[in-house]
């Protein structure tokens, strides 16, 4: 397709505009994170294949691999040894691409720092997906963090200042993420599209629902409603409870 035609399609229909989502996942780790212990095969932070937040039934890789809306693409591996796996998908009905990376569990602080670094607009990184070079990292439009709230365990000394007018949006699926991430996220100048007020299970059905709203350029309130509905469907916590847990904005 010629570039001028792509441009005209993007103007006529915003769903044809190329956008990138980048998700960083801190693998669940019984040994290196302050979590309630889970079965050993789910909480081995050095093995992504069966990890609770990546390879298990509701892990990011497994769940999105089965999602009809997302088509998996071949991609290059991450060069960093602490990133154990990387997957790329393309949304079937739009020009949205999703890059997800699984970080070894003991490197949870690095995961948090990378998330904030990217949210600030820094650390852009190219990812080759089926011959297409995607601009992920700090060049992505939506950044998401999934996993244990590491800020409950350690103090983050680094700061990640972003430019005024930073248009990047963020999703933080971790326990009490609004309380623990607010000060750090404000410095990045990125916007909180979805985060949490209490304890939660950061499983991929919530992420998947939020992505669908974002892909369709729904309002933050509509994205939050999709996420809350999905969370209630799986957790049986009541829609009112899910709405209280998953919030948008400051």
| Residue pLDDT, tens place only, 173-188 | 999 999 999 999 999 9
- On the question of pLDDT at 12 being above 60, the answer is no
Q: What angle, 0 to 180 degrees and rounded to 10, lies between the N-to-C axes of helices 204-215 and 220-235? A: 150
Q: Are 174 and 197 in contact (CB under 8 A)?
A: no
From CA 143, how far away is CA 232, in angstroms rounded? 23
Confidence of residue 17 (pLDDT cuts 50, 70, 90): confident
Residue 34: per-residue pLDDT: 95
Domain membership flag for residue 6 = no
Domain membership flag for residue 10 = no
C-alpha distances in Å from residue 65, one per residue of 40, 51, 55, 197, 246? 24, 15, 10, 29, 24
Mean pLDDT in residue range 137-150: 98
Residue 3: per-residue pLDDT: 44
Domain membership flag for residue 195 = yes
Domain membership flag for residue 5 = no
Domain membership flag for residue 194 = yes
Phi, psi of 170, rounded to the nearest 5 degrees: -135, 150
Number of domains in the chain: 1
Residue range(s) defining the domain that contains residue 237 = 16-247
Domain membership flag for residue 91 = yes
Domain membership flag for residue 8 = no
Mean pLDDT in residue range 133-145: 98
Domain membership flag for residue 158 = yes
- On the question of pLDDT at 192 being above 60, the answer is yes
Dihedral (CA of 160, 249, 88, 39) sign: positive
pTM of structure = 0.93
Mean pLDDT in residue range 87-116: 98
Residue 165: per-residue pLDDT: 94
- On the question of pLDDT at 11 being above 70, the answer is no
């Amino acid at each position: 397709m010629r570039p001028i035609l792509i441009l005209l399609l993007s103007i006529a229909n915003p769903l044809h505009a190329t956008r990138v989502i980048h998700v960083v996942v801190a693998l669940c780790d019984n040994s290196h994170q302050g979590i309630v212990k889970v079965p050993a095969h789910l909480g081995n932070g050095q093995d992504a294949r069966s990890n609770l937040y990546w390879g298990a039934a509701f892990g990011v890789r497994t769940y999105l691999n089965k999602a009809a809306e997302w088509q998996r693409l071949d991609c290059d591996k991450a060069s960093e040894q602490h990133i154990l796996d990387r997957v790329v998908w393309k949304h079937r009905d739009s020009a949205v691409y999703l890059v997800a990376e699984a970080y070894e569990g003991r490197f949870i602080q690095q995961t948090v720092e990378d998330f904030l670094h990217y949210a600030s607009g820094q650390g852009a990184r190219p990812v080759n997906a089926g011959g297409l070079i995607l601009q992920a990292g700090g060049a992505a439009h939506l950044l998401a963090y999934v996993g244990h709230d590491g800020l409950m365990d350690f103090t983050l000394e680094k700061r990640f200042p972003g430019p005024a007018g930073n248009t990047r949006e963020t999703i933080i699926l971790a326990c009490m993420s609004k309380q623990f991430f607010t000060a750090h996220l404000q410095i990045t100048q990125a916007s909180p599209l979805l985060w949490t007020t209490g304890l939660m299970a950061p499983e991929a059905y919530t992420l998947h629902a939020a992505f669908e709203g974002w892909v369709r350029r729904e309002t933050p309130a509509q994205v939050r409603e999709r996420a809350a509905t999905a969370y209630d469907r799986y957790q049986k916590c009541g829609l009112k409870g899910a709405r209280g847990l998953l919030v948008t904005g400051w």
